[in-house]
Structure 1
Amino acid sequence: MAARLASDFWVRAYLKRLELADIPAYVTARGQAESGAVMVKCARLDGSAQLYERRSDLMGGGWKWMLLHDGEEAEVDASIRKQRSFDPDLWVIEIESRDGRTLLDEPGLDD
């Protein structure tokens, strides 16, 4: 089993990839540097958003990005607030992408 990267390192690398792809992104909540979980919100700039979280893939092993919520942006924000209420170590990255492009399916980010 491969070792996981520290959360802050992974976040910095992900933000750089997004920057190189001209996708605006912001850290809206900083979690624990070493092992905080990461959620990615993709605001589609039309009032809707998607929320992703990296979870253990029980069937295939390893880790996989899972879509947690897809709907009105206010509902996605409420879901994030709820998650942060019981996990203050949670990182939240917000992306602005009309077409919903997150890069999470790219090599190095999808596993």
Structure 2
Amino acid sequence: MSEPRLSASFWVQAYMRRLSLYDIPAFVVAHGDDTAGAVLVTLNTLDGQAQIFSRSFDLMSDRRQWVEMAHGPEAEMAETIARQRRTDPDLWVIEVEDRQGRHLLDQPGLSD
């Protein structure tokens, strides 16, 4: 039996709060569908580089997990996000800015 899913807006609010507890700046760049929108997280390390994380389903463990979708120059990652938004207008985009590369997506409650 699968676990109940949180609404996208609830998860985003919880994630933003968790980041604020660690003094990690983050911004909702694109507000997707409140209920079922997918979420992309961009990690900007403020050195011209960025990573994009998306949620995927791991068939081996039967769980959802965050995986790196792309990484590279910040401008290229912005274009990758723009392409995704053109095909999925319900997509949420959160930008995390942290020189240390912290995104917290591997923490309990956020990773699963």
Q: TM-score, normalised by structure 1?
A: 0.98
The CA deviation at 1:3 is: 0.9
> Which consecutive residues of structure 2, in runs of 5 or more, have no partner in the other structure?
none
Aligned residues: 111
Aligned to 1:91: 92
The CA deviation at 1:79 is: 0.5
SS of the residue corresponding to residue 60 of structure 1 reads: coil
Matches within 5 A, 1:62-73: 62-73=63-74
Q: Percent identity?
A: 51
Matches within 5 A, 1:9-88: 9-88=10-89
**RMSD over aligned Cα, in angstroms?**
0.6
The 4+ residue runs of structure 1 with deviation greater than 6 A are: none
Q: Distance in 1 between matches of 2:88 and 2:40?
A: 11
Q: TM-score, normalised by structure 2?
A: 0.97
The CA deviation at 1:98 is: 0.7
> Which consecutive residues of structure 1, in runs of 5 or more, have no partner in the other structure?
none
Letter in 1 for 2:61: G
